Amino acid sequence: MCKKEKYINEFEDSIYGFVEEQKQYVSTENGDWTIKGFIDIYKNIFTISSDTKIVSKILEIHIFPEILKFAGKIGYKIVLAEHQNWYPDITFVHKKNEEIKFALDLKTTFRRNNNSAGFTLGSHGSYFKDRDKSKNIQFPYNQYTGHYCLGIIYPYRL
């Protein structure tokens, strides 16, 4: 097994375990979400609307501290995309070997009547064609050891 394959296998095993742990973090035993709204400085509580952009952002913010802990636990630091429309959302960079980088894009969609809406997988910008360029991407595409999407599917009504 080549050295990169070892990193890939370790990262994949770790990310699958992370996903399993997150099921308990984001929802109760009966499937209810652990976040029901947000609070302002005056202690007013607001329920989450069904606007998919709001729900998606809240879910991403909710699991972000868990992603930070996960990265540290498996020996990686994270680099966030410098711009909102850059790929990927998060880059995992190995602390001991910075040549090892994994792209993680966070994707959310909703489920209604046991069917889920599709995920938008991005613009597939010029970085797919010119893999050594850095336009709209955190690091050139060819510097990544692997590319992953973390899909979060939530009920239409929280």
Question: Could you give the residue numbers annotated as active site?
Answer: 89, 105, 107
8 A C-beta contact, residue 119 and residue 107 = yes
The rounded distance, in Å, linking the Cα atoms of 117 and 156 is 10
**Cα dihedral: 44, 25, 52, 144 (round 10):** 130
Reduce the DSSP state of residue 118 to 3 states and report it: coil
Q: What is the radius of gyration, based on Cα positions, of the chain? A: 17
